[in-house]
Amino acid sequence: MSARILNGTLLAQQIRGELAAAVMDFHQRHGRPPGLGIVLAGEDPASEIYVRGKLKAAAEAGMRADLERLPASASLREVLAVVDRLNRSPLHDGILVQSPLPAGMGATAEQQVFDAIDPAKDVDGFHPVNVGRLVQNRATLAPCTPSGVIELLDRSGIEIAGARAVVIGRSEIVGKPMALLLLNRHATVTVCHSRTKELADVAATADILVAAVGRPAMVRLGFVKPGATVIDVGVNRLTDAADVARIFPPGAPQHATFARRGSVLVGDVHPEVADVAGALTPVPGGVGPLTIAMLMRNTLHAAQARMARAQGPAA
């Protein structure tokens, strides 16, 4: 093991501390805290955990956070009605609809819901207006996970400008906005995906390698240039003992976790990569906590911008 481990939990704590003062100031000025409405449809176990984390972080930051729950059997129309109510709510500055929506809502449901969110309250940065602003390098609300990666690189002293960055994954939530944020910070960016030829060779050109594909331990030694910074966005739950035995070396703490809980988390990056990478984010405790910190920051910024608009231009 040679890689420097980039501790996202610690950095997120630091950011939340910085935000708490600004949240208190907002509350004093406007007589209410910044407010976030979270919509959760269905019972996806991973979404339940993520949403619980978001609600807890908001409460700790002194924000208001309301969970709007809908059953998996809810219709798309019902989700849109909740979004419409939150769009008009004076108490909510930010709206987040947790992805994925239940499959029964149809293939385009997520896009329709994200399109319906008021762009000024779109703390996920998924609305086409906010995506367009990101493309033009004038984003006000950028997606939380890739923003968290940038924050983590900055606060860890890793130079982005001029670096060769490779992003594996082209999702709307992580891969695409990650590539744009890195490009806006003057990295030379390559985006890889399921059809990329010689994927390992392309990945091994990276000074900064971001893995966001959702495939357990896919990024192996051969993908990583010695000394590269490797950012693992994947959160995959292993429930098969054979997978755990195959991926983690004997004596790794994950074996005890698996014995205790019957499952264990692994990222998209194989643990062996720690032997060659210069710096590496752990899973859990890497990018995840930064994602939540960026959601808090976006909610505060949305709230500040909304109140500034309500007050009109300064005299």
| Chain positions contacting ligand GUN, by CB under 6 A | 96-99, 124, 144-145, 173
25 vs 48, which CB is nearer to ligand GUN?
48
Active site residue 124: yes
| Distance of closest approach, residue 209 Cβ to ligand GUN, in angstroms | 20
Look up tokens 């979004």; give the residue: 83
d(CA 243, CA 128): 39
Q: How far is CA 150 from CA 153, 259, 290, in A?
A: 5, 35, 10
Per 3-state DSSP, the chain is made up of helix, strand and coil in percentages (nearest 5) of 50, 15, 35
| Distance of closest approach, residue 296 Cβ to ligand GUN, in angstroms | 13
Active site residue 311: no
Look up tokens 């990295």; give the residue: 187
Catalytic position from the list 98, 121, 122, 225: 98
Q: Count how many Cα atoms sit within 13 Å of the Cα of residue 239 in the half-sphere of its side chain.
A: 0
145 vs 236, which CB is nearer to ligand GUN?
145
Three-state DSSP class for 110?
helix
Closest CA to 70 of 104, 35, 33, 112: 104
| Distance of closest approach, residue 6 Cβ to ligand GUN, in angstroms | 19
166 vs 290, which CB is nearer to ligand GUN?
290
| Distance of closest approach, residue 164 Cβ to ligand GUN, in angstroms | 26
d(CA 4, CA 277): 8
97 vs 139, which CB is nearer to ligand GUN?
97
Catalytic position from the list 93, 118, 122, 124: 124
Could you give phi then psi for residue 109, rounded to 5 degrees?
-60, -45
Q: How far is CA 202 from CA 71, 176, 186, 224, 225, in A?
A: 43, 17, 19, 9, 10
| Distance of closest approach, residue 126 Cβ to ligand GUN, in angstroms | 7
144 vs 247, which CB is nearer to ligand GUN?
144
Active site residue 13: no
Which single residue brings its beta carbon nearest to ligand GUN? 99
Active-site annotation, residues:
54, 98, 124
